[in-house]
Chain A
Amino acid sequence: EAEVAQSPRYKITEKSQAVAFWCDPISGHATLYWYRQILGQGPELLVQFQDESVVDDSQLPKDRFSAERLKGVDSTLKIQPAELGDSAMYLCASSLGLGLSTDTQYFGPGTRLTVL
């Protein structure tokens, strides 16, 4: 069964350092999402791509976060500089992107970030 791949699974960094996360969606999925999940809370959307275009980045802290999906396939989320409050699980999800109510999002295993 096809899965969403993410790496690394765990990342420990010091504040003010730069970090990057990678996501490879299920083949053929046009829509890609990055969510942040703070411990004890539900995930919150950071950015949504349709192919290589950003559809929604209204919750992305653009002063330090950036995301790209240059060829409309895999994606990178970067934080520079990292702050203590960025410690969280970063989840990537993908969907076919057909714009239908049956369009299911499939999640990767996530990257657990700890900022010291």
Chain B
Amino acid sequence: GNSVTQMEGPVTLSEEAFLTINCTYTATGYPSLFWYVQYPGEGLQLLLKATKADDKGSNKGFEATYRKETTSFHLEKGSVQVSDSAVYFCALTPNAGGTSYGKLTFGQGTILTVHP
């Protein structure tokens, strides 16, 4: 079946530091890949996505590149801010049809804390 593995957290950084959160996946075919962010007390918000190999998703200074050869979708940001403190989830959906289409499979989440 499909699965997503994220790096163990929590991650603690100082403001303006470089961020990488690793994500690898197992899936048949060519899934779509996503990063969602969950701020304290809120639901999940889509941060960025990529739907085919070598695509780069980007939003709010965050980037992730769909690497088919390494089955990875690592999240990066060059300079984090205190307001980036949240839980980050990597996820996938299968691109093929069938009843599983659209179903998001999530990783376990990575807690990011950014200190001033």
Contacts and interface: CB of A to CB of B under 8 A. Distances in A.
Contact of B44 (A40, A48, A56, A107): A107
Contacts of B41: 109
Interface residues of A, number: 29
Interface string A86-111: 00000101010101011111111110
Interface string B35-66: 01000011111100101100000000000000
Interface in A31-85: 31, 33, 35, 40-45, 48, 55-56
A17 B16 CA distance: 49
A107 B45 contact: yes
Contact of A91 (B4, B43, B99, B102): B43
Contacts of A102: 51
Interface string B92-109: 010101011111101111
A95 B34 CA distance: 15
17 contacts: A31-B102, A41-B109, A42-B108, A42-B109, A48-B102, A55-B102, A56-B103, A91-B44, A93-B44, A97-B102, A101-B93, A103-B102, A104-B49, A106-B46, A107-B36, A107-B43, A110-B43
